[in-house]
Amino acid sequence: MKPIKLIIDTDIGPDCDDAGALAVAHALQTRGQCRVEAVTHTTSSRYGAGCADAINRWYGRGDIPVGTLENAGFLTGPAYERYNRYVAEHYPNRYPDGRQVPGATAVLRQVLASGSDFVICAIGPLVNLSRLLDSKADSGSPLDGHQLVRATVRRLVVMGGGFAGPEWNFQMDPRAAAHVCRDWPTETWFSTFEIGATILTGRKWASPAGQNPVADAYRLHSPGGRMSWDLTAVWAAVMGPAPHFSLSEPGRMVVAPDGSSLWQCGMEAKQRCLIKHQPDELIQAALDKLLREP
């Protein structure tokens, strides 16, 4: 079986599970299960691209293309930079001060135009993917964004949505979330809030401070461990649902103006939700093992 061609769209900075999700992706690539083709950052924080690049480089993959949202003022400041600034400033990377980072839309279009059968895993607000859908043809591809996605993406896996009120990723940009959930043309799976909320990972790290950017992200943000929202999404994007999860019947995720979401079952759609299929302890052990693999 060929490795999954994985693109990760992350808001790395507000929560440390994004760093954990990147670690899981790199561990799965080392196992031969995937190849990370690009990482795009979906907030305006000047440290997000550098943080993602530093983690990629720590795993020996500093050549992975990285792009960032080209939009000022979206989720910036200390509350959203509890570890990404430290990682960007203390570990080698191409973008320590956030300057000259390629735009996310350009990176996504360039990578998608280079091949086909990509899986995109979105673990942040969906603004980059919304902009991708709206993008125009360019020198890299004569296709507009919607056509390019339909031609080159096998599946989208979204950490987003929930059944107990607005979920953060959708709530931060409800318009973008509604746009992607309504108009994305390929199969889409949702790892909703409830999937990762009771799976605590990243509690203990053997490496001392300053030697592992993912460990430092957890120490600075959640030294007692953190929920595994983004880790479960990356797992499903690469490995498929089994054995930890199964898939719901087809339906559609409908996003309200406040970011709350409603899952409508039985509609003719290409969307499904993950359903937890194993005890939290088993999933936690599997994810924690991946977190700590070099």
Q: Give the residue numbers spanning the domain of 189.
A: 4-291
Q: What average pLDDT does range 209-238 have in this prediction? A: 97
Structure confidence by residue, pLDDT tens digits, 56-111: 999 999 999 999 999 999 999 999 999 999 999 999 999 999 999 999 999 999 99
Per-residue pLDDT band at 268 (split at 50, 70, 90): confident
**Cα dist. 190→184, 210, 214, 257, 265 in Å?**
13, 34, 25, 19, 13
Question: Using the 8-state DSSP alphabet, how is residue 259 labeled?
Answer: S
Structure confidence by residue, pLDDT tens digits, 7-21: 999 999 999 999 999
What CATH number has the domain bearing residue 143?
3.90.245.10
pTM for the whole structure: 0.97
Q: What average pLDDT does range 16-32 have in this prediction? A: 99
Please report the pLDDT score of residue 204 as a whole number: 85
Q: What average pLDDT does range 151-167 have in this prediction? A: 94
* Number of domains present in the structure of the chain: 1
Helix, strand, coil % in the chain, rounded to nearest 5: 40, 20, 40
Weakest-pLDDT range from 25-29, 214-218, 269-273: 269-273
Residue 118 has pLDDT above 90, yes or no: yes
